[in-house]
Amino acid sequence: MIFYTFLFFFSLVGIVIILANKLLEIEKGKSIIPLKLKNVAEIKIAKSALLVSKKINSFTANKLRKIIIKTILFFYRTIARFINKTLEKIRNEDIKLIRIVKGEKLLNRNGEASSFLRDVSEFKKENLRNRSEDDLTDEKKDLL
């Protein structure tokens, strides 16, 4: 924390000196810093700024490239998983449908039947009872 405070005040003093020098140059045409020293400092600052700029650009470009590759791979894997699950679900449903059509798999008879099927079943049972009763009465008539 002390380092950052020192760095802040050092930068603040440097900015104040630069602004004071510029103001003095504009108003009186004089400079606090000698011209030779000013030119050397400008050249060194320009070189340092260029070097820092290149390092930042290369670091940013590499990091950006890695982020883009990771993002593309993430989306690719997500889409591949989705397609795989969807195809697996479709395949399982198709297999079930094919087995039902072929008659390999019997329908589950433990569940509730629809009202129509119950009515048909009751009608069938009544008809069988009536037939058997009619057959019995016909046999009795024949015996008598």
pTM: 0.33
pLDDT of residue 34: 78
CB 93 within 8 A of CB 85: no
Q: Helix, strand, or coil here: 111? A: coil
Could you say which residues of the chain have pLDDT below 70?
102-114, 132-144
pLDDT of residue 128: 80
Helix, strand, coil percentages for the chain (3-state, nearest 5): 85, 0, 15
pLDDT tens figures, 42-73? 899 888 888 888 877 777 777 878 888 899 99
What CA–CA distance (Å, rounded) separates 71 from 59?
Answer: 18
Among all chains, which residue has been given the structure tokens 């509730």?
Answer: 112
Domain ranges of the chain: 1-32, 114-144
